[in-house]
C-alpha cells in the first residue's frame, strides 16, 4: 500500500494558507528574540511562496507559468533551509523550533506526495 496520498490538488490547496502563516505567525509568536532574521526569513519566504503559488500550474495557480515540478523542487529546498536555519543563523528557543517544525512539515508533505507522474489530476474549469 502506497502512503503517498498528497496529490497535486491537495498540495495546491495547502499553498495559500501556508504562505499566509509564514507571513503572519512570526509576528504573532514574537519571533526574532535570538536573531531578527528569524522573523524576516519566514516573512520573505511566505511572500515568495505566495508569488510562487500564484504562478504555479496547479489548481489554485492564477497565471500558471511555473511547472508544478519546479514548485515542488523549491518547496523541498525551503524545507532543507528551514531545518538547517537554526544552526546556520544561530536561532534558539522558539525561533529554532519554528524553523525545525516548519521544515519538517514541508519535507513530510514532499515525502507523502505522489510521484509527479501520478500527481497530475485534470484541472476543472
Mean pLDDT of all residues in 45-71: 97
pTM above 0.85, yes or no: yes
* 121 pLDDT above the threshold of 70: no
Per-residue pLDDT tens digits for 17-53: 999 999 999 999 999 999 999 999 999 999 999 999 9
pLDDT value, residue 125: 44
Domain boundaries, the chain: 8-113
- How far apart CA 68 and CA 89 sit, in angstroms, is 30
Q: How confident is the model at residue 122 (pLDDT cuts 50, 70, 90)?
A: low
Amino acid at each position: 500500500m502506497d502512503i503517498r496520498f498528497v496529490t497535486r490538488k491537495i498540495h495546491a490547496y495547502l499553498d495559500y494558507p501556508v504562505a499566509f502563516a509564514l507571513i503572519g505567525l512570526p509576528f504573532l509568536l514574537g519571533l526574532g528574540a535570538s536573531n531578527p532574521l528569524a522573523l524576516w526569513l519566514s516573512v520573505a519566504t511566505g511572500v515568495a511562496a505566495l508569488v510562487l503559488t500564484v504562478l504555479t500550474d496547479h489548481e489554485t495557480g492564477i497565471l500558471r507559468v511555473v511547472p508544478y515540478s519546479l514548485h515542488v523542487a523549491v518547496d523541498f529546498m525551503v524545507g532543507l533551509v528551514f531545518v538547517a536555519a537554526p544552526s546556520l543563523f544561530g536561532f534558539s528557543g522558539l525561533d529554532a523550533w519554528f524553523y525545525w517544525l516548519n521544515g519538517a512539515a514541508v519535507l513530510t508533505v514532499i515525502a507523502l506526495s505522489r510521484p509527479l507522474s501520478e500527481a497530475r489530476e485534470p484541472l476543472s474549469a
